[in-house]
Structures are given as C-alpha cells and as structure tokens.
C-alpha cells in the first residue's frame, strides 16, 4: 500500500504525468481512438506548458504556502530548542565574503540563526541525513552546522541529527532527541511549502511545535520573468503538486 502511495505521489510531478498521459495517448491512437488520443496528447503537453509559466507556478505554490506565512522571529515564543530541517546541500551565500542572517530571507539556516540570536531557544538541532554511503561526516546536518556558524551561531549551541532521510524520519529522530534532552516545545524551521507536511509528521510523533516558516520567493520584476515558460517554473510547480500528494500520504499513514 505504501509503495503504491509513493508511486502515486511521484506521478503527480508534471513531467512524469505528462509522459504517462502521452503513453496513454499513443495507446489510444494504436487502438484507433484517434480523436481521444489526440485530445489526450494535447492535454498532456498543455498541462506541463501551463505549469511552466512562472505566474501560474507562483499561484500553485501559494495554495500551500499561504497556510504558513513567514513570521518575524522576534514575535516567537520561547522554546527549548530550534529545529531546522535540511533542504539543501549547497549554500550559495557561503561564497560571499561577508554575510549576516538578516539578509537571507529565503534561508532556513538564517531563520534558525535569527531565532537563536533573538534568544528564543538555547540550542539549534540540525536535522538532515548522510550521503548515499550513510556517512554522518558527509551528512546534510554536518554541512548545515558548518554553514550556520558563519551566521553567528557557535558550535556549542548546535546539536546534529544526521540520520534522517525524509520528513517522517526528521520527526521521529527529533522526538527521540526531545525525550532524551527534555525538550517540551520546539521552534520548527522549514520552508512555507514544506511546513504543512512537517507539522503533521512532528505532531504525529508527539512533538509540540511552533512553526517558523521560511519563504521561497522568486523575484519577478519583468513581464518576461512572469509569463515566459521556464524549466525553473515547471520545477517549482512540480514541487508544489508533489507536496500536495505527500501531505495526503502523511495524513493517511499511521
């Protein structure tokens, strides 16, 4: 059952669904259902083409992100720990000579650092699994630890969780750390898009969370940036649609 659910979620990704629909169109044409086959092919191409329009992509993502809009870290309640979920293995801002967490609006690490610098919790838990070989030294959590220290958070304020491979693992392993260290309330930092599913998984694991959503905004200043289809916009649409499927899956899983 779980494998079927994962397959269904994977098929929501626009290119995958487009290929599936094109396959169905070819089958219909082979069975001489010409009009239906052509209609299916046109729909398949139009589906991905529409979702590749940046304005459409932003609208699709907003259906999820608006449930957890960004918050000012200074307004957050005090907690026992800040938990930052991994979402990248490369941090472009590390290439800058000088960088502060207050100029990185779309960074989860920066949001976690700002909450820590505002004295909202004494420790930051960085949750993200290892490389394909399972080596904790190459884990996302370790890379996050090296990066967040550039933002003013000392190593002795960090706790690493380098084993998780998905959001459900993030929640289960963080719950174990919470039990071990007596964390009653945590500030949960992840993207606004990912936050609905993360909240479901963490609350199912018995963790009292206060959401700290981070935006993934795209700046679109020109007509071309808003309306000309792009791979990036298609990818952003795909992430949002796949996230909807993953949210449904999280709700029905034990």
**Domain residue limits, the chain:** 2-65+227-252, 73-214
pLDDT for 133:
44
CA 27 – CA 50 distance, rounded (Å): 24
pLDDT for 34:
85
| Class level of CATH domain 73-214 | alpha beta
- pLDDT tens figures, 112-125: 999 999 999 999 99
pTM: 0.86
C-alpha triplet 76, 77, 82: angle, nearest 5°: 80
pLDDT for 211:
97
Q: How many CB atoms lie under 10 A from the CB of residue 82?
A: 29
Q: Which residues of the chain have pLDDT under 50?
A: 1-2, 5, 132-133
pLDDT for 246:
87
pLDDT for 33:
81
pLDDT for 132:
44
pLDDT for 10:
58
């Amino acid at each position: 059952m779980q494998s079927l659910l994962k397959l269904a979620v994977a098929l929501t990704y626009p290119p995958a669904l487009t290929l599936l629909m094109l396959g169905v169109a070819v089958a219909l044409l082979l069975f001489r259902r010409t009009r239906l086959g052509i209609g299916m092919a046109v729909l398949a191409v139009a589906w991905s083409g529409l979702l590749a329009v940046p304005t459409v992509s932003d609208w699709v993502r907003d259906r999820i992100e608006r449930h957890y809009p960004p918050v000012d870290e200074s307004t957050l309640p005090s907690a026992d720990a800040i938990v930052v979920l991994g979402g990248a293995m490369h941090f472009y801002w590390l290439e800058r000579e000088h960088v502060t967490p207050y100029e990185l609006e779309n960074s989860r690490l920066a949001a976690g650092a700002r909450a820590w610098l505002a004295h909202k919790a004494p420790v930051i838990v960085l949750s993200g699994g290892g490389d394909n070989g399972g080596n904790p030294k190459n884990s996302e959590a370790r890379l996050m630890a090296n990066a967040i220290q550039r933002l003013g958070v000392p190593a002795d304020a960090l706790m690493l969780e380098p084993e998780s491979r998905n959001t459900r693992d993030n929640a289960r392993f963080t719950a174990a750390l919470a039990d071990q260290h007596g964390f009653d309330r945590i500030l949960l930092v992840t993207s606004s898009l990912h936050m609905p599913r993360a909240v479901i998984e963490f609350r199912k694991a018995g963790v009292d969370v206060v959401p700290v959503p981070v935006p993934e905004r795209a700046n679109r200043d020109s007509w071309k940036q808003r309306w000309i289809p792009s791979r990036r916009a298609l990818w952003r649409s795909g992430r949002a649609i796949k996230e909807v499927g993953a949210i449904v899956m999280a709700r029905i899983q034990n």
